[in-house]
Amino acid sequence: ILNVEQSPQSLHVQEGDSTNFTCSFPSSNFYALHWYRWETAKSPEALFVMTLNGDEKKKGRISATLNTKEGYSYLYIKGSQPEDSATYLCASFKAAGNKLTFGGGTRVLVKP
Amino acid sequence: ETGVTQSPTHLIKTRGQQVTLRCSSQSGHNTVSWYQQALGQGPQFIFQYYREEENGRGNFPPRFSGLQFPNYSSELNVNALELDDSALYLCASSLRGGASKETQYFGPGTRLLVL
């Protein structure tokens, strides 16, 4: 993996169902993995910053796991609600250039 | 505590013109990063400013330049605009530059259309 990739690009979820999606990133020279939620017409909002292999973080019904050795992170939404509809972005931090490299995002639409 | 603000919200320019976008960082933050988000893509890092100095740069040509002021607000300047510069420009502030664990706080963006 040379770039940060997210899959799927979009998904539709029925209200009350749980879902998860993937962020893949280069495992070499890994420093940190960031997750953001971006609702339409709002600013991206930070969810998690993860650094250690095996890390698990939770915020309400949203949680994330991190595997730095194989270069992937999963984001889980439990019991999806319409307000969870947003684009979820992940980004890997690269020390060279002090930059966050973002994936293309997973657009989640929760249907009532 | 005020959040990150950006101005203007929308802008229309013609090819070859120059544009300046502005960003006010969150109170207490000394680092501002700028991103370009083209349609259908994730944000692409342009550069970062830390205490008024450029502190990292992405793969953008020199016609993309910036400034950071003593109050840590920042400007993004783009010269000789091209059609492909049409995008949403986001700025984000953080407490410390170059720190991998620092959360970045984003503004709402400036939508630039180049005709």
**Listed range (A47-56, A63-72, A92-101, B40-49) with the worst mean pLDDT:** A92-101
**Which of B42, B98, B102 lies nearest to residue A104, judging by beta carbons?**
B42
Within 8 A of A41 by CB-CB distance, chain B residues are 108
Which chain B residue is nearest to residue A43, measuring alpha carbons?
B108
Looking up tokens 């730095």 gives: A68
Q: Does B45 touch chain A (CB under 8 A)?
A: yes
Return the pLDDT at A1.
Answer: 60
Return the pLDDT at A68.
Answer: 94
Q: Does B60 touch chain A (CB under 8 A)?
A: no
For residue B109, the surrounding DSSP H or E stretch is: none
Return the pLDDT at A5.
Answer: 96
Q: Does A39 touch chain B (CB under 8 A)?
A: no
Return the pLDDT at B76.
Answer: 98
B34 token code pair: 């700028």
Distance, CA of A64 to CA of A47 (rounded, Å): 9
Q: Does B58 touch chain A (CB under 8 A)?
A: yes
**Listed range (A75-89, A94-108, B63-77) with the worst mean pLDDT:** A94-108
Return the pLDDT at B45.
Answer: 93
Distance, CA of A1 to CA of A22 (rounded, Å): 13
Return the pLDDT at B2.
Answer: 63
Return mean pLDDT, chain B: 93
Asked whether residue A109 carries a pLDDT value surpassing 70, the answer given is yes
Q: How many residue pairs bridge chain A and chain B with CB atoms within 8 Å of each other? A: 67
Angle value at C-alpha A41, between A36 and A47, nearest 5 degrees: 15
- Cβ–Cβ gap B42/A36 under 8 Å: no
Asked whether residue B1 carries a pLDDT value surpassing 60, the answer given is no
Could you tell me if A29 and A94 are in contact, meaning their C-beta atoms sit under 8 angstroms apart?
yes
Could you tell me if A75 and A62 are in contact, meaning their C-beta atoms sit under 8 angstroms apart?
yes
Give me the mean pLDDT over the B23-40 stretch.
93
SS3 annotation, A20-81: EEEEECCCCCCCEEEEEEECCCCCCEEEEEECCCCCEEEECCEEEEEECCCCEEEEEECCCC
Q: Does A26 touch chain B (CB under 8 A)?
A: no
Banded pLDDT at A99 (limits 50, 70, 90):
confident
Banded pLDDT at A96 (limits 50, 70, 90):
low
Return mean pLDDT, chain A: 93
